[in-house]
Amino acid sequence: MATLKLLSVLFLQLVVVLFVSDLANGYGLQLGFYKKTCPNAEDIVRKTTAQYISRAPTLAAPLLRLHFHDCFVRGCEGSVLLNSTKNNQAEKVAFPNLSLRGFQVIDGVKSAVEKVCPGVVSCADILALVARDAVLMLKGPFWEVPTGRRDGRVSSANEALTNLPPPFANITQLKTMFLGKGLSVKDLVVLSGGHTIGNSHCSSFSNRLYNFTGKGDTDPKLDSNYIVKLKSKCKPGDLTTIVEMDPGSFKTFDEDYYTLVAKRRGLFESDAALLDDSETKAYVKLQTATYGSTFLKDFSESMVNMGKIQVLTGMAGEIRKHCALVN
C-alpha cells in the first residue's frame, strides 16, 4: 500500500514537471491559430512585410535579429517592442539593443492587421511571422510558424544585458545560454547562420583588430589577410561605420556564412567560437563541403524551436493594441 502511494505521488510529480516543461517550450501554440478569428492574418502580414522589404531589402536582417532578441529575453512575447516609461528602462535601451531596427515594420504590419481584426493578433506572433516572411524574400527558407503567442507586459533593460549572447562570447558561454533557453547545440550553430545576411558596426568586433588582449594585438583566430581588409574600413574607435557580415552576398540568405567561418573570416568572436567545439565545427565543415545541403531545412526547424521559447498562451499576458505600449 505504501509502495502504491509512493508511486502515485511520483507519477503526479512527473505530470507536473512535464506540464510545466510543455508550457515553457511552446505548447499552446498551433498552426493556423487565427483560422477562425482572423483568417487573413498571415496573408496581411506577408503582403505588408513585402511592401517594406521590396523597398528596403536590408531591413530583413534587422527583423530576424529583432525576433531573436525578443525570444532570448523573457521568451517570444514581444517585450523587445515595448517603449521605456518614466519608471522603467525597457529592453530597447539596453546596449545590445541600441542598434536594433525594423520597429516601424512591426508597427505597420500591426496597424494593417488591426484594421481587419482589432484586438485579435498579438505583436509577438506578428514579429515571428514578419521574421519568417522577411527571410523568405531574401531567398531564404519558408517555415510554418505556430501561432497563439500572447504579449508580455514587462520589459527590462537589465534582463536584456544578462540574457542576450554577446558577440564576444566563447563556445562554452554560447552553449550554456542556448541550452538555458531549451535550444540544442545544433540550434546554436544553425541559428548562427542567420549572420549570412545583414551588417555590423565596427565597434562589435574592433577589439579583434586592434586590442584583443589589451596589448594592441589582433585576434589570432581571425584570418590575417581579412584583418588588413577590415582595418581599411574600421579605424580605432569607429562607432558609426558598418560592414557586411557576409561580404558579397549579405542580401541573400545562403550558406556562405559557414564558408567564411571555416576560413576564419567570421566577424565576431562568437562566430569563430563555432570552430572550438567538435559538434559545431563538424556542422560548419559539412555545410562548407556540401554547399549548404541541409542548412535551409535545418534553419527552418531551429527557427520553429526558437519561436517556442517561454511563450505566453491561453489567458496569460495580453493582446496589445499598439506594440510599443501595454494596454
Residue list for the binding site for Ca(2+):
70, 73, 75, 79, 91, 196, 246, 254
Catalytic residue among 67, 69, 201, 322: 69
Instruction: Give SS3 for 46.
Output: helix
Among 65, 70, 194, 181, residue whose Cα is nearest residue 123:
70
**How would you class 252 by CB atoms within 10 Å of its CB: exposed for 0-12, middle for 13-18, buried for 19 or more?**
middle
Say which residue the cell 563538424 belongs to. 282
Distance CA 235, CA 239 (A): 9
Q: Are 188 and 180 in contact (CB under 8 A)?
A: no
Q: Are 196 and 174 in contact (CB under 8 A)?
A: no
Backbone φ and ψ for 318, nearest 5 degrees, come out as -155, 175
Q: Are 150 and 316 in contact (CB under 8 A)?
A: yes
Distance CA 25, CA 47 (A): 29
Residue list for the binding site for substrate:
165
Residue list for the binding site:
70, 73, 75, 79, 91, 165, 195-196, 246, 254
The DSSP secondary structure of 205-242, one letter per residue, reads TTHHHH-TTSSS---TTS-HHHHHHHHHH--TT--S-E
Residue 69 annotated as catalytic: yes
Active-site positions?
69
